[in-house]
Chains A and B, each alone.
Chain A
Amino acid sequence: QSALTQPPSASGTPGQTVTISCSGITSNIGSNTVNWYQQFPGAAPKVLVYTDNQRPSGVPDRFFGSRSGTSASLAISGLQSEDEADYYCVAWDDSLNGWVFGGGTKLTVL
């Protein structure tokens, strides 16, 4: 059981907006920023969003992160077939003194 809770799957059709949620508690998301990673099969995770809502250079502005209270979310607008991947949220946990990950969400583009 992961410390952060994500839906195991999400789906949408091209052009739609999909939102992936990430739920935590006070000691992690409630106190620290959230990063989001995108991972394709056989590849290392790639930073998609850092510090809640910042995008690294090269990441399209179709990806939008936000955090409120003990929850965070990743919205993907203008869904494209190449967005089909696994998405993970992560935050530092002050009680565990370590990172806690969400269980991952498999995004399918229908």
Chain B
Amino acid sequence: QVQLVESGGGVVQPGRSLRLSCAGSGFTFSKAGFHWVRQAPGKGLEWVAVIWYDGSRKHYADSVKGRFTISRDDLKNTVYLQMNSVRGEDTAVYYCVATGTIDSWGQGTLVTVSS
């Protein structure tokens, strides 16, 4: 059974950094690509970033490009989202998604950017 567990969310001040983690189990982690998707309070889903199964390609939404970095550690079965220079508009629930024939979503972790 595929399971994705996000962690690392919390309250962070504007301009500071935060790192989100997504631990996967129940599937061949090294063969999956991963996305981060976020949802601001009361809003729709917004794609944030993607990393290829082999880490060879990474792409970002314009809204986070240059500030966020996606990475993976296949030895730890974990995907990361390093969030730097956070802004109020980054406040959202962040979901980790593993791609496959059928995509699998985690339960999300809430990031609140506030002074």
On A, residues with C-beta under 8 Å from B are 2, 35, 37, 44-47, 50-51, 56, 86, 88, 90, 96-104
Q: Provide 29 A-B residue pairs closer than 8 Å at the C-beta atoms, listed in order of the A residue.
A: A2-B44, A37-B45, A44-B105, A44-B106, A44-B107, A44-B108, A45-B45, A45-B105, A46-B105, A47-B102, A47-B103, A47-B104, A50-B102, A51-B101, A56-B102, A86-B44, A88-B45, A90-B47, A96-B59, A97-B50, A97-B59, A98-B59, A98-B61, A99-B35, A100-B47, A101-B45, A102-B44, A103-B44, A104-B44
**Chain B: which residue is nearest A3 at the CB level?**
B47
Chain B, interface size category, equals 20 to 34
Find out whether the CB atom of A98 lies under 8 angstroms from the CB atom of B47: yes
- Chain B residues, Cβ within 8 Å of A37: 45
- Shortest beta-carbon distance from B54 to chain A in Å: 16
Find out whether the CB atom of A98 lies under 8 angstroms from the CB atom of B60: yes
B-side interface mostly: strand
- Shortest beta-carbon distance from A25 to chain B in Å: 16
Find out whether the CB atom of B44 lies under 8 angstroms from the CB atom of A99: no
